[in-house]
Amino acid sequence: MDIDKIIKLLEIDFEEHKERHSEFVDFMENVKDPYIVLVCCILSLRTNDKITIKSAKRMLSKAKTPEDMIKLSPDELSELIYPVGFYQNKASQIIELSKILVEKYNSKVPDSIDELIKFKGVGRKTANLVLTKGFNKPAICVDVHVHRISNRLGYVKTKVPDETEMVLRKILPEKYWINYNTLLVNHGQNVCKPQKPNCSICSVSKYCKKCF
């Protein structure tokens, strides 16, 4: 499989069809603060992008730092982020991890996966996204889109996202790690959808195992 050509075509597609972009994806592309990446990623779990971006903006209008966040009560934060999925649990998680950051990390988000996954509610997907978007460090964030499309293309043959990440770490050139998630999420939301992939407009269909 020519992964270089596939990535190039997805990059062209991403740039030429900005009207397809999720507002949340574009927002996360421009965020450079690891803390904001972290808390916004937590909000996005099991929530669609249209709800997440609105909730994230309300939250960030009140708190953009761990110090600001711990001044909010769980009820106040719950109200700000509603109706994201599991909003009450997420409010408690965000306030709890903010307290830990202030008390144990001098308010600085750690830049290693091993440290990040110690926080309640932070899995490998979130940790990898923090590394790529918050620290510009090579990491592979595997969500449902990355897992699905990587398998449909035939680039990997895996059953779960964590397994996909480990295989991609071995075969995907590191120069693509940071942007791989953005490109495949955009493609997965607009073209290679879960139930009805629109293969007729897919820029990489000629490389896809599903099409043969």
pLDDT value for 209: 83
pTM for this prediction: 0.94
Residue entry with tokens 């904001």: 36
Measure the CA–CA gap between 201 and 208, rounded to whole angstroms: 13
Tell which CATH classification among 3.40.50.720, 3.40.1190.20, 3.40.605.10, 1.10.340.30 matches the domain 33-135. Answer: 1.10.340.30
With CA atoms as reference, report the closest residue to 181 among 152, 154, 146, 211: 146
What stretches of 28-106 adopt beta strand conformation (E)? none
Cis peptide bond upstream of 83, omega within 30: yes
User: What residues does each domain of the chain span?
Assistant: 1-19+138-212, 33-135
pLDDT value for 181: 97
CA atoms within 13 A on the CB side of 127: 17
Cβ(42)–Cβ(126) below 8 Å: yes
Collapsed DSSP state (helix, strand, coil) of residue 154: coil
- In tens digits, the chain (212 residues) has pLDDT values of 899 999 999 999 999 999 999 999 999 999 999 999 999 999 999 999 999 999 999 999 999 999 999 999 999 999 999 999 999 999 999 999 999 999 999 999 999 999 999 999 999 999 999 999 999 999 999 999 999 999 999 999 999 999 999 999 999 999 999 999 999 999 999 999 999 999 999 999 999 987 65
Cβ(35)–Cβ(66) below 8 Å: yes
pLDDT value for 1: 83
pLDDT value for 211: 66
Measure the CA–CA gap between 99 and 80, rounded to whole angstroms: 19
What CATH fold (topology level) applies to the domain 1-19+138-212?
Answer: Endonuclease Iii, domain 2 (1.10.1670)
Read off the tokens for 156. 């990997």
Cβ(89)–Cβ(110) below 8 Å: no
pLDDT value for 210: 75
